[in-house]
């Protein structure tokens, strides 16, 4: 039976009260969550345009026999095998929690902060750090750490031996680790994580969606021929123009 234990949320050594911004003229405090909600609303059109472009280019890539490439098949094989394991076997919560907290720590270090405590168990985990922002809080939900580790390990191994005969397994492992990341992310989001609520749940979900879409788009474009990459940017620009024209037409009706 799948493991249903709920990992604890990450703890940072920051104030429990939500951050606020102040209007300089009125000295009026505004919860940053409110401002983030407004930002999230403005990001929604970008998310919509990007999603439309991604699926259009994906269909185009499939029509150009992208589905028949080794990259696609082995990536898909790894992802499918993991999904079967996720729903059919006990979930490796400890491995997820370790990767979750390590991702927080990596982003803290990358932004010049310090980690004074790193705690992981099958019941949950937390870190204590002197630095906290939205990217550090949300990194585990969009940064596929284990996929990156697979790529780095493959690159390091290539310095010492010929790894070309094993490139299929690279695609399969990237597919499995990416599916690991997505499945646990979707499993954890509804569990009331403080990582999401601290900066505003709506805003956090929009950022998580956009960043995961960025990663998936990168996978698609790297594995596709140059023509597909050119088409993606051209189509994104075209869809953005269409959306802008629609907004202007709606505005003229009321103004």
Domain ranges in the chain are: 45-235
For residue 16, what pLDDT is reported? 39
Alpha-carbon distances, residue 92 vs 17, 63, 167 (angstroms): 33, 37, 26
On the question of pLDDT at 61 being above 80, the answer is: no
Count other C-beta atoms under 10 Å from residue 184's C-beta.
Answer: 22
In tens, the pLDDT along 74-123 reads 999 999 999 999 999 999 999 999 999 999 999 999 999 998 888 888 77
Residues 54, 58, 177, 181, CA torsion sign: positive
Residues 131-152, mean pLDDT to the nearest whole number: 93
Q: How confident is the model at residue 22 (pLDDT cuts 50, 70, 90)?
A: very low
For residue 108, what pLDDT is reported? 93
Of 137, 108, 114, 131, the residue nearest 211 (C-alpha): 137
For residue 29, what pLDDT is reported? 65
Flag the least confident range among 16-25, 74-83, 136-145.
16-25
On the question of pLDDT at 53 being above 70, the answer is: yes
50 or 13, higher pLDDT:
50
Flag the least confident range among 104-118, 154-168, 188-202.
188-202
On the question of pLDDT at 202 being above 90, the answer is: yes
Q: How confident is the model at residue 219 (pLDDT cuts 50, 70, 90)?
A: confident
Mode of pairing for the β-strands spanning 115-121 and 28-31: unpaired
For residue 95, what pLDDT is reported? 93
Q: How confident is the model at residue 14 (pLDDT cuts 50, 70, 90)?
A: very low
Q: Are the C-beta atoms of 119 and 150 separated by less than 8 Å?
A: no
Burial of residue 250 (CB within 10 Å: 0-12, 13-18, 19+) is exposed
């Amino acid at each position: 039976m799948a493991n249903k234990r709920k990992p604890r949320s990450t703890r940072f050594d920051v104030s429990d009260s939500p951050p606020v911004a102040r209007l300089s003229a009125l000295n009026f405090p505004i919860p940053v969550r409110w401002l983030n909600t407004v930002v999230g609303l403005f990001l929604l059109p970008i998310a919509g345009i990007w999603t439309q472009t991604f699926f259009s280019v994906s269909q185009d890539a499939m029509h150009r026999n992208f589905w028949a490439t080794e990259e696609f098949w082995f990536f898909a094989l790894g992802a499918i095998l993991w999904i079967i394991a996720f729903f059919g076997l006990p979930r490796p919560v400890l491995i997820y929690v370790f990767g979750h907290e390590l991702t927080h720590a990596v982003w803290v270090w990358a932004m010049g902060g310090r980690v004074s405590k790193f705690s992981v168990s099958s019941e949950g985990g937390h870190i204590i750090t002197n630095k906290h922002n939205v990217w550090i809080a949300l990194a585990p939900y969009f940064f596929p750490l284990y996929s990156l580790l697979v790529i780095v390990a493959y690159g390091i191994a290539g310095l010492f031996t010929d790894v070309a005969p094993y490139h299929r397994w690279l695609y399969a492992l990237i597919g499995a680790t990416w599916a690991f990341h997505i499945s646990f992310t979707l499993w954890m989001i509804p569990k009331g994580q403080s990582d999401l609520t601290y900066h505003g749940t709506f805003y956090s979900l929009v950022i998580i969606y956009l960043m995961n879409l960025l990663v998936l788009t990168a996978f698609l474009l790297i594995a596709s021929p140059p023509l597909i990459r050119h088409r993606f940017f051209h189509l994104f620009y075209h869809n953005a123009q269409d959306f802008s024209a629609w907004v202007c037409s709606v505005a003229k009706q009321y103004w």
